[in-house]
Structure 1
């Protein structure tokens, strides 16, 4: 509200001038100022306008002004698909304030295969390399990477695993310290090669860091002091950004999650005739989304990525699989 009244004062406008005829109404003028001059993000502008509009509703109730400075209009909205959605007679339309900017679905940002490989090459530190590689190959959230237990890692060869993928149960209740969103357990699948890579990492690199303290840390990944990363993964966030800056790539752990999800969905969609699982359902379970609607954000790019190199995503990343011991 302070910013809104500052805008009015700077332009010699009165907040109570709600009947401006054909002139642009006060709130619409402020909205355009936020977009065109201040260059604010769409969601930020929407949040500010909510407060301004609520102020005018209060002003009308108090009798300070006789009407609102804006009107209402019907707009199409996405149906929730929830309980009793089938009896909704609104036709997918809702009455909204005319000054509110329309919601835009954000474009998912992800790395190309080349960018992913460049990022891995820039991670010369074996521990950072392992974290980034696991993020790109599993889509785990940063807090899941930070708390992934070393006890989950094993040698597929000694275990007699011959399948291409390995089943891993992420269970916050198993006493391992694993943390998932909402503490909900889920099963993920990682490639057998990734599990072999992680086992080599434990044997050749993790032990040195673990020996720096007298404790027995349960997470797979440890910081330079031999202690677990912060459970919220903020330290991992900073590390990924720093590694990306070395090669001119602006990235973060959630973008690595988007990268995994995007390329995996594209590959599954193009091979769906040869597989027995619905791609979106698989990806939903893999990412731990509570709603399939959340996973559907990746669908819009499926038809846009026609390059055959997409199908080689997993194999090309495997070129970086071996950490020199």
Structure 2
């Protein structure tokens, strides 16, 4: 079996579904019912438009079926005690031999549970290969509390791995300064700057279009040092959930991006002989892939001597931007909503994680970040509040 991502030639009712994950058997035919489940979940019922989500779902389901094939197991085997089921064996293999984190394993198991639930509803199987248990949840006090009929009890599959509460990891002021002061590959340095100073995700920074870059000093409608509002469009780049959003790019960062586009990028582009649309290019002149960004962060980590990950840069931006805006007397908007919109969170509760983190941080650590990180994330090089965003 194999997993391939559909090209633009994959048409259904005249519409192209380029990027849709295709699980194929050894004869090249779609594996059923896995293929139908993905179509139902991503297209028919779910309406998921992000090709990144499509790929993630495809890889998770492929990983499960590849495990079954390698061990000559059947996904719909005869009913066994839950502790001996194929799903249990897959979970234990993922946690044991692969040593994956419980969080990663549960992301895969969540999709597998949905797959079996769907198969049972469709009549492919009569029993689930895992048990369920009742879990009591906190009372719902929100706007829709009156329609909550759960009685405070929901059913959870017993197959899930036990997770420890994840802690948010971010860089300290000293670490950010050290990264800025270290001689890095120009492309690696720019990726680092784009993520830590704007909150862009890895996929967004690596696909950020060259067309969005300009020389701010050549614009008579801009004042030196102001924040530059840039609209990100899914038609131009990879954006999670495929929804447009705007980010605020510091003036100095835009100058760095402009300078990079004129010199370092052009040197790299000539090596490949192609004309990529993304701003940041690899040493050989190609656009960065997901794995290439991981390698870039590892290269930075090797030079500075402490962990550097793309998600840490986003957390660093979110935490200290929120902290700085809450303290600023010149900011008249709602800091939490501002950070939510800049980071592209679908729910403000996700952004509120940074609020909780700020409240939990040791006061001395917070104070140690105030001077330079406030300026880095919320003010311009002239100390003026970020474009006086309302």
Match of 1:138 in 2: 198
1:204 correspondence with 2:263: yes
- Find the residue that maps to 1:229 and give its secondary structure: coil
Match of 1:184 in 2: 243
Match of 1:172 in 2: 234
Query: Which of 321, 325, 335 pairs up with 1:279?
Result: 335
Alignment of 1:92-241 (within 5 A): 92-94=152-154, 105-160=165-220, 161-162=222-223, 164-173=226-235, 177-230=236-289, 233-241=290-298
What TM-score results when the alignment is normalised by the length of structure 1? Answer: 0.69
Compare relative contact order (CA 8 Å, sep 6+) and give the higher one, 1 or 2.
Answer: 1
CA contact (8 A) 1:267 1:310 kept: no
**Structure 1 pair 220/41, CA: closer, same or farther in 2 (3 Å)?**
closer
CA contact (8 A) 2:199 2:313 kept: yes
Instruction: Spell out, residue by residue over 1:222-257, the C-alpha distance to the aligned partner (whole angstroms, 9 max, x if none).
Output: 111112122xx2211111122113322122111111
1:119: Cα distance to partner? 2.6
- Distance in 1 (alpha carbons) for counterparts of 2:272 and 2:100: 47
1:262 correspondence with 2:262: no
Instruction: Spell out, residue by residue over 1:173-193, the C-alpha distance to the aligned partner (whole angstroms, 9 max, x if none).
Output: 3xxx32211221111111112
Of the two, which has the highest radius of gyration?
1
**Structure 1 pair 75/102, CA: closer, same or farther in 2 (3 Å)?**
farther
CA contact (8 A) 1:149 1:219 kept: yes
CA contact (8 A) 2:324 2:377 kept: no
- Distance in 1 (alpha carbons) for counterparts of 2:271 and 2:175: 34
- Distance in 2 (alpha carbons) for counterparts of 1:253 and 1:166: 22
1:109: Cα distance to partner? 0.9
CA RMSD of aligned residues (A): 4.2
Instruction: Spell out, residue by residue over 1:169-227, the C-alpha distance to the aligned partner (whole angstroms, 9 max, x if none).
Output: 11123xxx322112211111111121122222223322221222333222110111112
- Find the residue that maps to 1:303 and give its secondary structure: helix
CA contact (8 A) 2:196 2:317 kept: yes
- Distance in 2 (alpha carbons) for counterparts of 1:225 and 1:145: 18
**Structure 1 pair 74/190, CA: closer, same or farther in 2 (3 Å)?**
same
In structure 2, list runs of 5 or more residues that go unmatched: 1-66, 68-79, 117-125, 382-390
1:294 correspondence with 2:350: yes
CA contact (8 A) 1:71 1:98 kept: yes
- Find the residue that maps to 1:219 and give its secondary structure: coil
1:72: Cα distance to partner? 5.7
- Distance in 1 (alpha carbons) for counterparts of 2:156 and 2:281: 50
1:97: Cα distance to partner? 7.9
What TM-score results when the alignment is normalised by the length of structure 2? Answer: 0.59
**Structure 1 pair 190/317, CA: closer, same or farther in 2 (3 Å)?**
closer
- Distance in 2 (alpha carbons) for counterparts of 1:150 and 1:46: 34
- Distance in 2 (alpha carbons) for counterparts of 1:276 and 1:104: 38
CA contact (8 A) 2:280 2:287 kept: yes
Instruction: Spell out, residue by residue over 1:255-303, the C-alpha distance to the aligned partner (whole angstroms, 9 max, x if none).
Output: 11111111111112222x5322211211111111122222222221112
Match of 1:67 in 2: none
**Structure 1 pair 201/94, CA: closer, same or farther in 2 (3 Å)?**
same
1:74: Cα distance to partner? 5.0
Match of 2:17 in 1: none
In structure 1, list runs of 5 or more residues that go unmatched: 3-14, 19-25, 55-61, 63-69
